Amino acid sequence: MTETLSIESPQEPQPGSRLPWLALLAVALVIGLGLYFYFSPETEQHPAASGSLPRLSFGPAEQSYAPSVHVENLTLSKNENFLNQEVTTLSGDVANAGGRPLRDVEITIEFFDELHQVVLRETRSLFSSSPAPLAPGELREFEISFEHIPSSWNTEPPAVRVTGLLFSTAKK
């Protein structure tokens, strides 16, 4: 007697059955990334402060001269840019009350929340593009724009301090 054995092939998955799972996985990944960026710390830095531009020196000579550099007459204003985004602008004057000309001054601006925790810290060069140094006794205006200040900001004026100096080698 001969028996024929039939070999059953395993069922192949339907071609479209993986698609819903892949779509669900992609949506979960997008939501996960969105939550990660949403809940990441709100302290942001301007590209100039994050290392794309060199920071100015603040060694012993610069630190001893820093009290002679005064940042004053600070004002904040809010405007909209051409994309209808709110931009906050910090304007002020920097005065050189010392005896040496300065090629550039770097300041660090800190915005705080109600608990006096820093919600935004940016370091900016004030006049690196200016060809003329800031002479002793001279006052120069500056303006810095911020595209995004966290909503947790307490709306008080930010703290501003000198964190870098570049002395001019030109004799006046």
What does the angle CA 109 – CA 71 – CA 68 come to, to the nearest 5 degrees? 120
**Phi–psi pair at 90, nearest 5 degrees:** -105, 120
Domain spans of the chain? 60-167
Whole-number Å distance between alpha carbons of 107 and 165 = 9
Whole-number Å distance between alpha carbons of 43 and 120 = 5
Task: Tell me the H-state helices in the chain.
Answer: 19-39, 60-65
**Phi–psi pair at 80, nearest 5 degrees:** -110, 140
Is the confidence at residue 156, as pLDDT, over 90? yes
Handedness of CA 41, 50, 140, 61 (dihedral sign): positive
CATH class given for the domain over 60-167: mainly beta
Assign 48 a pLDDT band (cuts: 50, 70, 90).
very low
| CA proximity to 49, closest of 110, 129, 92, 118 | 110
Residue 93 is encoded by which pair of tokens? 């004057």
Residues listed for the chain: 172
Looking at the whole model, is its pTM more than 0.85?
A: no
Assign 39 a pLDDT band (cuts: 50, 70, 90).
low
What count of Cα atoms within 13 Å lies in the side-chain half-sphere of residue 83?
4
Residues 2-13: tens digit of each pLDDT: 666 555 656 665
Is the confidence at residue 42, as pLDDT, over 60? no
Assign 65 a pLDDT band (cuts: 50, 70, 90).
very high
Whole-number Å distance between alpha carbons of 110 and 39 = 20
Q: What is the pLDDT of residue 12?
A: 60
Residues 83-109: tens digit of each pLDDT: 778 899 999 999 999 999 999 999 999
Whole-number Å distance between alpha carbons of 74 and 118 = 19
Residue 41 is encoded by which pair of tokens? 């710390």
Strand partners, 51: none
